[in-house]
Amino acid sequence: MNAPTPQADGHLPSQNHLLAALPTPEFEAIAAQLELVPLALGQMLYEPGSQMRHAFFPITSIVSLHYVTESGASAETAGVGNEGVVGISLFMGGDTTSSSAVVQTAGHAYRLDRHTLKQEFNKAGTLQRLLLRYTQALMTQTAQTAVCNRHHSVEQQLCRWLLLTLDRVPAAHELVMTQELVASMLGVRRESVTDAAGRLQAAGYIRYRRGHIGVLSRAGLEASACECYGVVKKELDRLLSDVHRR
């Protein structure tokens, strides 16, 4: 049985699947250190090589993990929503990472200081098992993203990205997102995103206006997406099945 305590504005730690799956004793060991924080669109949580001080457990926000080249170009390697945690380097043996983390969808997250996270992780209890299982799921997503970006069209990539976003914010029918940010995440030119979004809009699957993408037909997006969306979703569901059961 879990016992997350209510927080301001109705936000609960249990809105994050990993925190919700913790047994009461393990949750209570970190509850006092969990801090509810707002995350703004475009906010940088950490940059390549910087010292990481907190892990973030999103509840209503989505964070995009990016790799940034020396020229300044970037592409998303994975996204993290209420199914996971940002900052796996903290418990995988390093306090820094070569990637960056930027807020893709504004909302809230609970953050936990690195010392508390490491202390509880090293107890080798349920928290450790959940975090390692999630890390494997994140690795699957990263590998599939690399394949998708190399072999599939921008339109298919956009459909995959939109569907994964909808899975993490199920109540949303309109996403606040500029084409520039989408282009940065997919690692393509803005004009390519404009063309792909235009085709999806013409098909009646989305409605696009500056800074907002409204989803009109999820079924249409699923039909237009490549197999990568299904692979990632199936693997996430399989690896985190014990999280969902709890």
What are the tens digits of pLDDT across the range 15-59? 999 999 999 999 999 999 999 999 998 899 998 888 889 999 999
* Within a domain: 220: yes
In CATH, what number is assigned to the domain containing residue 124? 2.60.120.10
Specify whether 144 is located in the same domain as 157: no
Position 117 confidence tier, pLDDT thresholds 50, 70, 90: very high
Specify whether 144 is located in the same domain as 168: no
Residue 12 phi, psi dihedral angles, 5° rounding: -125, 145
pLDDT tens digit sequence for 124-159: 999 999 999 999 989 988 988 888 888 899 999 999
Backbone Cα Rg of the chain? 18
- Which ranges of 102-188 does DSSP label H, i.e. alpha helix? 114-121, 126-151, 154-168, 179-186
- Higher confidence at residue 117 or residue 147? 117
Specify whether 138 is located in the same domain as 176: no
User: Quick one: pLDDT at residue 104?
Assistant: 87
DSSP-assigned letters across all residues of 152-164: S-HHHHHHHHHHH
Position 172 confidence tier, pLDDT thresholds 50, 70, 90: low
Tell me the helix, strand and coil percentages in the chain, rounded to 5. Answer: 45, 20, 30
Q: What's the CA gap between 17 and 110, in Å, rounded?
A: 12
User: Quick one: pLDDT at residue 119?
Assistant: 94
* Within a domain: 205: yes
Ranked by mean pLDDT, which of 35-39, 72-76, 234-238 comes out on top? 35-39
* Within a domain: 77: yes
b/e sequence 202-217, b meaning 16+ C-beta within 10 Å: eeebbebeeeebebee
* Within a domain: 171: yes
Tokens 């457990």 found at = 57
Specify whether 171 is located in the same domain as 185: yes
In CATH, what number is assigned to the domain containing residue 179? 1.10.10.10
Average pLDDT over residues 167-184: 77
Position 9 confidence tier, pLDDT thresholds 50, 70, 90: low
Specify whether 163 is located in the same domain as 55: no
Specify whether 120 is located in the same domain as 158: no
User: Quick one: pLDDT at residue 202?
Assistant: 94
User: Quick one: pLDDT at residue 88?
Assistant: 92
Specify whether 141 is located in the same domain as 157: no
Q: What's the CA gap between 129 and 121, in Å, rounded?
A: 9
Specify whether 206 is located in the same domain as 238: no
Position 240 confidence tier, pLDDT thresholds 50, 70, 90: confident
Specify whether 123 is located in the same domain as 169: no
* Within a domain: 37: yes
Tokens 């098992």 found at = 129
Specify whether 93 is located in the same domain as 136: yes
Specify whether 139 is located in the same domain as 27: yes
- Higher confidence at residue 24 or residue 74? 24
Structure tokens at 72: 């300044």
* Host domain of residue 143: 8-148+234-245
b/e sequence 141-153, b meaning 16+ C-beta within 10 Å: bbebbeebbeebe
Q: Which of 49, 45, 39, 83 is nearest to 65 (CA)?
A: 45
* Within a domain: 1: no
Q: What's the CA gap between 117 and 111, in Å, rounded?
A: 10
Specify whether 32 is located in the same domain as 143: yes
Whether pLDDT at 85 is above 90: yes
- Higher confidence at residue 5 or residue 13? 13
User: Quick one: pLDDT at residue 224?
Assistant: 93
- In total, how many domains does the chain have? 2
